[in-house]
């Protein structure tokens, strides 16, 4: 069963907050970045990708964020608008901040990397005054991405959004999205991730990301079950731990767990999978799917995106996901 309770009378399905950037994906694959000469430009950033994915699935999505006052910022704004995302609460920076850039390297389907430019970026200039309580209370879901916690004033803006969400019974989904290059230290990361996770109803992350949060505490030996129980002592109702090619496992507060495998596909690159998984999983939860059904929808969406060149542009519609699930083989490996 689905343990979450949504305010279905509200006009907005999901509001995302955080990173808006540009992905520059290598056109020459099967080679290192040093030999790559051309790239294709896409809108990027985990919360942006999730919002786009949700909108493609028919959800009413909004965004709280900050963009640079230049051509790149306007490119992002126009793309979100074309994808039917409410942009009324995206603010244009006036301090001279720039858009973050992510250059991707695709050496092989399993050997991909990202070269990030994150100095003086506009998305981390989001301020508490840019966060509207009235806007958040109109939504069923608030999606928070961990990268928005890396610097002030974005960090404080996110915690204010979390406060408004808890006050107005907005379901909080926390996508850990750990990017080490935006943080000063592992202890800083663990502290702020922990504080955000305490306020979240659903927490989604890889096993490695959960290990990062737990480093600052002397928890001793951990496991998937121990990790889930830890967050159930706060607000969490669902904890999803992803294991890459091993699939994902979801724990619910009632003590049950669900294990979802991965759908076989011809993999081009690895990035974008987590974002497409999250968007389809959230769609499933909002539309009364069971947790396992929502996970399978997310897994299929992830397989579609990693078979294509982009992340945001590749986000599938519901019909594409369902058609893919009818023909693709689901592989389930044992997890603990």
Q: With respect to residue 230, please indicate whether it lies within any of the assigned structural domains.
A: yes
| 106, part of any domain | no
3-state secondary structure of 171: strand
Residue 188 above 70 pLDDT?
Answer: yes
* Of residues 139 and 1, more confidently modeled: 139
Reported as a single tens digit per residue, the pLDDT across 29-51 is 889 999 999 999 999 999 999 99
Q: State residue 214's pLDDT score.
A: 84
User: Is there a domain that residue 128 lies in?
Assistant: yes
pLDDT at 109: 82
The parent domain of residue 320 ranges over 12-18+47-90+124-331
Place of tokens 């493609």: 56
Judge whether 48 and 19 are in contact, CB under 8 Å.
yes
Residue 204: beta bridge partners? 175, 240
Residue 114 lies in a domain: no
On whether the CB atoms of residues 285 and 8 are closer than 8 A, the answer is no
Q: Does some domain include residue 298? A: yes
- The verdict on residue 118 lying in a domain is no
- Summarize the confidence of residues 104-119 as an average pLDDT: 90
Q: How confident is the model at residue 145 (pLDDT cuts 50, 70, 90)?
A: very high
Of the ranges 72-76, 209-213, 218-222, which is most confident?
A: 72-76
In a domain, 233, yes or no: yes
Residue 156: pLDDT over 90: yes
At 2 the pLDDT is 85
Token output for 152: 């002030």
Count structural domains, the chain.
Answer: 1
**Which sign, positive or negative, has the C-alpha torsion 148, 151, 156, 157?**
negative
CA distance 145 to 163: 15
Q: Give the pairing type, strands 61-67 and 90-92.
A: parallel
Q: For 5-24, what is the mean pLDDT?
A: 97
Residue 216 pLDDT > 70: no
Question: Residue 167 is part of a domain; what is its CATH number?
Answer: 3.40.1190.20
Q: What is the pLDDT of residue 245?
A: 86
pTM of the model: 0.96
HEC string for 176-208: CCCCHHHCCCHHHHHHHHHHHHHCCCEEEEEHH
pLDDT at 198 over 90: yes
Is 201:253 a contact under the CB 8 Å cutoff?
Answer: no
User: What percent of the chain is modeled with pLDDT above 70?
Assistant: 97
Spatial separation of the C-alpha atoms in residues 93 and 117, rounded to whole Å: 18
Quick check: is 64 in a domain?
yes
Residues 78/41, Cβ–Cβ less than 8 Å: no
DSSP 61-125: EEEEEEE-SSHHHHHHHHHHHHTTEE-TTEEEP-S--B-EEEEEEEEETTEEEEEEE-TTBGGGG
Arithmetic mean of pLDDT over the chain: 94
Exposed/middle/buried for 216, CB within 10 Å: 0-12, 13-18, 19+?
middle
Q: Which residues pair with 34 in a beta bridge?
A: none
């Amino acid at each position: 069963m689905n343990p979450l309770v949504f305010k279905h009378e509200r006009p907005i399905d999901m509001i995302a907050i955080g990173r808006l950037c540009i992905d520059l994906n290598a056109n020459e694959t099967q080679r290192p970045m040093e030999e790559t000469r051309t790239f294709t430009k896409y809108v990027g950033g985990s919360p942006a990708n999730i919002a786009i994915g949700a909108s493609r699935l028919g959800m009413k999505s909004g965004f709280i964020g900050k963009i640079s006052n230049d051509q790149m910022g306007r490119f992002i704004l126009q793309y979100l608008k074309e994808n039917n995302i409410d942009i009324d609460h995206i603010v244009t920076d006036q301090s001279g901040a720039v858009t973050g850039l992510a250059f991707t390297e695709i050496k092989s389907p399993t050997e991909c990397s990202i070269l990030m430019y994150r100095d003086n970026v506009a998305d981390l200039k989001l301020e508490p005054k840019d966060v509207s309580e009235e806007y958040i209370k109109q939504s069923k879901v608030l999606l928070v991405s961990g990268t928005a916690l890396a610097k002030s004033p974005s960090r404080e803006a996110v915690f204010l959004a979390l406060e408004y969400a808890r006050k107005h019974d907005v379901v909080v989904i926390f996508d850990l999205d750990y990017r080490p290059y935006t943080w000063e230290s592992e202890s800083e990361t663990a502290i702020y991730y922990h504080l955000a996770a305490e306020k979240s109803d659903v927490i989604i992350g890889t096993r490695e990301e959960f290990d990062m949060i737990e480093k600052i505490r002397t928890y001793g030996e951990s496991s998937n079950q121990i990790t889930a129980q830890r967050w159930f002592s706060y607000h969490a109702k669902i904890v999803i731990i992803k294991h890459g090619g091993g699939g994902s496992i979801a724990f619910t507060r009632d003590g049950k767990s669900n294990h979802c495998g991965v759908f076989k596909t011809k993999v081009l690159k690895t990035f974008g999978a987590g974002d497409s998984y999250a968007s389809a999983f959230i769609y499933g939860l909002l539309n009364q799917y069971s947790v396992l059904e929502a996970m399978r929808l997310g897994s299929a969406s992830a397989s579609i995106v990693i078979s294509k060149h982009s992340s945001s542009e590749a986000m599938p519609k519901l019909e594409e996901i369902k058609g893919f699930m009818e023909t693709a083989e689901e592989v389930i490996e044992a997890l603990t």
